[in-house]
Amino acid sequence: MKIAPSILSADFGILDIEIKKICDGGCDYIHVDVMDGHFVPNLTIGPVVVSSVAKVATKPLDIHLMVENNTFFVELFAPLEPEFISFHIESESHPHRLIQKIKSYGIKPAIVLNPHTPPEMIEYLLEDLEMVLLMSVNPGFGGQKFIPSVIEKARKLKGMISKRGLKTLIEVDGGVNDKNIDDLKNAGVDVVVAGNYVFNNPSYKDAISSLK
Ligand code: DX5
Ligand code: ZN
């Protein structure tokens, strides 16, 4: 299982130290939640702050866009050379076009599904995607309760991916902890995002290892 701590739960006053601690603690990616105050009722960080994160990070960035104008934000973040940029299917009318744009920068494209959105929505995009991110909370805030129906959704999505002989990764984001990680693994999940579970633990390293 690969672990992507969400820096939404980090102490932004000492962000450089926080980034160093999760990288040294064995995380696989750094999950960056970008919110525009329109698609979700919260506002976070833009490319100025994320470029400072990128400077101290020794692990690749996983950028999760929760915005209305996806194309604008992809253009803003592409120069930071993240590993993944994911955008919500619920806010994009032309997902296939946007996937090609993300790929044109040499960045891996991913699509995010809100808790109510069925995996069939992206069935015909699967072969163009490197990863599908399933939300297990309503996007906007860290520290929310895990919505268990994501487990069945992950299993269904895994079946769709395997049937097509693809290697598309499945990531789950929201309320992940040591209680639900086994169910996620058994359902075929490859990557989990963990905000509060990592940053509320006195040792980020222990939290990451316990999930692994
Ligand atoms: C929610 C964000 C998540 C969140 C995860 O909109 O996408 O990445 O910060 O935090 P926890 O693990 O605390 O639910
Ligand atoms: Zn996220």
Per-residue pLDDT of the chain (212 residues; tens, 9 = 90+): 999 999 999 999 999 999 999 999 999 999 999 999 999 999 999 999 999 999 999 999 999 999 999 999 999 999 999 999 999 999 999 999 999 999 999 999 999 999 999 999 999 999 999 999 999 999 999 999 999 999 999 999 999 999 999 999 999 999 999 999 999 999 999 999 999 999 999 999 999 999 99
Q: What is this structure's pTM?
A: 0.98
173 is catalytic: yes
Rounded CA-CA distance 83/67 in Å is 19
The CATH homologous superfamily to which domain 2-211 belongs is Aldolase class I (3.20.20.70)
Sheet holding 108-113, edge to edge: 2-5, 191-194, 169-173, 131-135, 108-113, 84-88, 61-66, 30-35
Give residue 13's pLDDT: 97
Q: Which atom of ligand 1 lies at the shortest distance from residue 176's CA?
A: 12
Secondary structure (3-state) at 118: coil
Give residue 130's pLDDT: 98
Domains of the chain by residue range: 2-211
Element (H, E) at 8: none
Give residue 141's pLDDT: 98
Give distance in angstroms: CA of 193 to centre of ligand 1: 7
Give residue 202's pLDDT: 98
Q: Which atom of ligand 1 lies at the shortest distance from residue 194's CA?
A: 12
Position 79: which residue type?
Answer: P
Rounded CA-CA distance 89/114 in Å is 8
62 is catalytic: no
Give residue 83's pLDDT: 98
Please indicate whether residue 34, judged by its CB atom, sits closer than 6 Å to ligand 1: no
**DSSP code per residue over 153-208:** HHHHHHHHHHHTT---EEEEESS--TTTHHHHHHTT--EEEESHHHHTSS-HHHHH
Give residue 144's pLDDT: 98
Give residue 147's pLDDT: 98
Query: How many CB atoms within 10 Å of residue 161?
Result: 20
Nearest ligand, measured from the Cα of 35: 1
